[in-house]
Amino acid sequence: MDYKRILTVQDISCVGQCSLTVALPILSASGAETCILPSAVLSTHTAGFKGFTCRDLTEDIPAIAAHWKKEGIDFDAVYTGYLASEQQILLVKELFSLGAKGCKRIVDPAMADGGKLYPAFDEKFAATMATLVGEADYALPNVTEACFLTHTPYRETLTKDYVKELVDKLHALGVHTVVLTGIGYREDTTGVVVDGDAGFYHYEHRRIPRNSHGTGDVYASAFTGALMRGFSAEEAAKIAADFTVLCIENTPASHWYGVEFEPLLKDYIQMLQPS
Ligand code: PXL
């Protein structure tokens, strides 16, 4: 098995089962060396906890990147998630240049859900994030994020024409492969659309009617791990969807702030075995 080195840039929410506390274990389970660059340290995530603390680490990024450059450290993939400021988005673009030849740039524009931006963000942040998406090989927005990135009115009920419009507008930003999550055409289904070299692909699966936090991060991490193990974008999108559904299914509703993915890492490892 090819041993890959992945850099993931996102926050540490000390409590909350999202961002780095999810990405690090999932990427490690995929078999890749996982390097991290924390964008900020928060006491908890911002979706439901009140009075959280946040230390923005933007100022530390240039020196960290300069040290890596001096040491000749490069990466097979750079995967970004929740970023704390517009300036940080611009610094991440510079980090992309630390990539090895053929380095995959994977952007999860983690900034919105359910028709709304997360509390820390505004439309200007979304516009800057759109420029990062434009430089990505793979971008993984949910429908809300896709709407903010492309100035499209948000709709809860999806049609094939509306999804095609979102995919086309995301491509127009410059991203090579669009991985659009949360796409289902019936009340009881959801799924993922992949549009890249292999054309348009839709994997539709059952929807568990529950509001789950952190699942976008579980999804993007599982996708990145599978992609770096050599699966195609379509296969990686399906593996990530199956794993995320399993995580939601195995989380009691009382566990409101995240999903209990840890006991299921063994299932993810199994999903990554060649068939
Ligand atoms: O799961 C996305 C995420 C990551 N990091 C922080 C968040 C959220 C979602 O709310 O608040 C800090």
216 CA closest ligand 1 atom index: 1
- Count of CB atoms within 10 A of residue 70's CB? 8
CB of 194 within 8 A of CB of 231?
Answer: no
CB of 32 within 8 A of CB of 61?
Answer: no
Residue 145 lies in a domain: yes
* C-alpha 58, offset from chain centre: 20
Residue 271 lies in a domain: no
136 CA to centre of ligand 1 in angstroms:
21
Mean pLDDT of the chain: 96
Residue 21 vs residues 30, 74, 93, 260: alpha-carbon distances, Å: 15, 23, 23, 12
What number of residues does the chain have? 275
Q: In what order do the strands lie in the sheet with 33-44?
A: 54-56, 33-44, 5-15, 75-80, 99-107, 138-139, 177-181, 189-196, 199-206
Residue 262 lies in a domain: no
Place of tokens 């960290």: 64
Ligand 1, atom 1: closest residue by C-alpha: 214
- Write out the two tokens for 245: 């559904």
118 CA closest ligand 1 atom index: 10
Per-residue tens of pLDDT for the chain, all 275 residues: 689 999 999 999 999 999 999 999 999 999 999 999 999 999 999 999 999 999 999 999 999 999 999 999 999 999 999 999 999 999 999 999 888 889 999 999 999 999 999 989 999 999 999 999 999 999 999 999 999 999 999 999 999 999 999 999 999 999 999 999 999 999 999 999 999 999 999 999 999 988 899 999 999 999 999 999 999 999 999 999 999 999 999 999 999 999 999 999 999 999 999 87
Residue 73 lies in a domain: yes
Residue 266 lies in a domain: no
19 CA closest ligand 1 atom index: 4
Instruction: Please give all residues whose beta carbon lies within 6 A of any atom in ligand 1, as ranges.
Output: 11, 13, 18-19, 42, 45-47, 82, 110, 118, 214, 216-217
User: pTM here?
Assistant: 0.98
| Total structural domains within the chain | 1
CB of 80 within 8 A of CB of 92?
Answer: yes
Q: Residue 34 sits in which domain range? A: 5-257
217 CA closest ligand 1 atom index: 1
- Count of CB atoms within 10 A of residue 124's CB? 9
Ligand 1, atom 8: closest residue by C-alpha: 45
- Count of CB atoms within 10 A of residue 241's CB? 20
DSSP 8-state assignment for residue 38? E
Residue 263 lies in a domain: no
User: Distance between CA atoms of 33 and 75, rounded to whole angstroms?
Assistant: 10
Q: For position 184, which CATH number holds? A: 3.40.1190.20
Sign of the alpha-carbon dihedral angle for 78, 145, 22, 87: positive
Q: Is 146 helix (H, G, I), strand (E, B) or coil?
A: helix
**Choice from 41, 82, 212 to test ligand 1 binding pocket (greatest atom count within 8 A of CB):** 82
Residue 267 lies in a domain: no
Residue 275 lies in a domain: no
